[in-house]
Structure 1
Amino acid sequence: MRRYACVWFPDWPMDRLRRARRDPPPSCHSAGPDETAFVLTEQGVTGLRVAAANGVAKWLGVTPGLRFADARSRAPDVQAEPVDRAADARALEALALWATRWTPLAMVDGMDALRLDITGCARLFGGEGHLLSDIGERLSAGGITARIGAGPTPGAAWALARHGAGRVTVCRAGQEVSEALTDLPVSGLRLDEAAERLLRRFGLTRIGQLYDIDRTALARRFSSKEAVSAVRFRLDQALGLYPEPLNPIRTPPDYAPRQSFVEPLISGDGLTAALDTLTEQLCELLERDGRGARDFTLTAFRADGSAASVSLSTARPVRDRAHILRLFRDRIEQIDPGFGIDLVELSAGRTGPLETDARPLSRDLAADPVDPVALSALADRLTARLGAGTVRIARPEASHDPSRAEALAVYDGALEDWTDTRSVPRSDRPARMLDQPEAVEVLAEVPDGPPLRFVWRRVPRRVKRADGPERIAPEWWRTFDSEARARDYYRIEDEEGRRYWVFREGLYQDGRGGLPRWYVHALFS
């Protein structure tokens, strides 16, 4: 008899975000999901809705599915961010690959669960109970909330994981599936909301109530043939009367050619020759599958049992042998042969489809003045010499705040399309800004106008010309700070011809934080 396990993550978006922000970069949300009421939102049919909520928000009555406006009425200080479904899906797929430690047949089940075929695997862990306990303990140690169900069908495991009495609920071998599912709600059949609503309208709230109803009589109760077919189909799947195929996730193909030596290598020339051979073999493997790679690692296993490795990354997937050798040329000297090298391995990671565009005969005939392949190759050489993350490009951000309207990102082989009018920087703004606005002391100020004299960096300056204001209001959808103030930006020029981009934070008598304050945000070239 086959055995299946369903691992359900009821707080997956929040758990994934919490794990991603254990060491948050400066640009991340200042408050963690556990410090205050915090929710993740997404756009629904009737507006913004709560996709996930942390423990503090749930304690205040904010639950997933609630309209965000209602959530704010229950928790006025709640903080919110948009849910990142793409990142959640990528992390869940990575977790499915990690779950192959228990079974080779694992797959992603929806947006928040894994399905595992554990047939014949339990004996390797001391029994099914020990296997399921190991799954739960390892996930809990990683900060992931999980509920586990196990049974002879995927549908039964799915229902037990979500509606079982404990964190681990099992339909034991020899126990009838119908008996294990009798008292579970009909939502355990993986039905849509319309079918569940119809069943409840007829007083059918438990799965066991569907067993004794004649299929023809059940069909007469539904006005929709699709709904009754879905109920029949899901019930048969849960009871094992209808097979349910499992499409297991496949581990990425292995691109790691090796070369061993009868006599250990003791010179750098021998290691260079081995790298040349392995690079050729690796490129042939990648070409066979029509793929390229972005991460390359050269590992040398020494005769004394130790190992040394050097790694590099590229902006785009590549399989150009000469390019890979050129990148390794300055790094291969970092490997010390020691008492000799017995084995050398060259592995490729982050593989993906390789874009093969036809190269123009000349630059005049090129559709795009920028050659992305040549630009990526240049970025790779700079990264190999200067270190990872040193090559960055500016990307536009959807924000009215000048500090957020543009962000530096590590170059990943793709250039931003600045021809879009929404992405083109405004010509009346400076090209570069200070890292942080610097406060200035205004000596002569005109209400609702630019300063006449000010002191910046201990030097008094007199304003000769001024233009503005450009008013920018606080982005209420990003911050819920009631003290946030509007800004008036001015382009001013002093008597020596130096031009500044200054702003006044706040308006007179706006009731938010006292008198306005002045800052220099950028300089015009």
Structure 2
Amino acid sequence: MLPFFPAERRISAGLAPPDTSFALIEKQRGALRIMALSPAACRLGLAPGMMLADARAQVPELLGFPHEEEADRAVLTRLALACEIYTPLVAAAQPYALLLDCTGCFDAVGMDEAQLGEDLTRRLVRHGFQARTAWAATPDAALACAVYGQDNPHDLPVEALELGAEVHQALRRSGLMVLGDLACRPSAPLAARFGTALPMRLAALLEEQDRRLTPLRSVPPVRVERRFPEPLALVDTLLKVIADLAGEAEALLAERGEGGRRFEVLLFRTDGHVAQLAVDSALPLRDPAAIADLFGERIASLADPLDPGFGYDVIRLAVSHCEALEQEQSGFTEDKRVKDTLPLLNRLAVRFGADSIRLFHPRNAHLPEYAASFMPVGAPGSGPVPGTAASGRAEAAMDTWPEPECGEPPLRPLFLFDPPQRVQVMAQVPDGPPRRFQWRGKSYRISFYEGPERIAYPWWKHPEGSGPTRDYYRVEDEQGHRFWLFRHGLYERESDHPHWYIHGQFA
């Protein structure tokens, strides 16, 4: 529990003077209301929820600053991420509290409950935040004990139920002051008198019902870490530690039959700062050397270099995205001439982002502009990566994009104009091949041509069951430039004056 978090956040950021009475205010229904107070203002008898005018009537020198809820939430989230040094199950709660599920984590961090609480309080004080800690079997009970400063949930006041002032007042008039007074009474009469929410809330606070903690970040399927008795401050040594952690992760991934697509490294600095590095792989990966190389590439490309400060005391490697990875076997049929392009794709993904690396993916369409599409590497349905062993085994035929014979020029250009561009064509006969065409104000005289390649319109997409046919020609002009032209519509059968278009240009 951080009782003065909003005010101390402004003080630690240098936005408010320390040891001064001030309030954080927000306009509600046309009036300024106090949302939080500094420790000095609380010692003067003021309380959150008061009107600013009433507070200044008691303390004329009270300063007022705007309440910045978004900034408070961002800093609280950073503190929650820093608390992952103790456990991966961390959540932020209101009012300004951090919930940690440390079940099974004490042996890993080498502390018991008292030592962990003291270490956590010391780290928060170092950042300028006062803290109250409490331990309980459920998150609701722990939070309530921290808010009201109690060690036993049975000693909590009835206000911890948070059921409204009327219910709290009725309970006190009945002589029920603390939760222990309610624990020995049957729930049915309490529910009939004070509402059905009271027994459920009471069970959560008395550790009888566990609401479970929803962590700020989901727990990764594979997670390894290294703790150091002396802080680590050298980047070269950092890369060696990452390689060692990747070796441990490789064994865990191999047991699961998976490889990682996204790897994250958390660097916990001794002063509480947490640096996060992440790399993505084009395909599932678990090779330690390759993983270390990707992180070396990431560190080298950082706009702001890593600042170890006084050193890192914990380094954690998490594999947040895993996919199935088959064990590849070097056999008699393996083609040694095939060069594995996966390391190159991974480096490009680290440098420019995984979504920036795209491959052609065949589609079930015979019109050239729809025959292929761009898809990110490794995306579902994108198929194997060219140049890898998987692509050699796949042998996926791309019937919609014909391949030339060995040594022949490509049958279609790699890039197409979208949409095709209109050109003026001269031919010996109306339905014959082109002899000369004009494009972008320039005339081209054709020396060689190949074609036509006739592509019919997809009749199932036309309301009348028919559409203009395309006759494609590969042409070369006198200067050696090669183009891909087509006549849109069959002469006299589909159009009296068919138009010509240029659909692509060969490299």
TM-score of the superposed pair, with normalisation by structure 2: 0.45
Larger Rg: 2
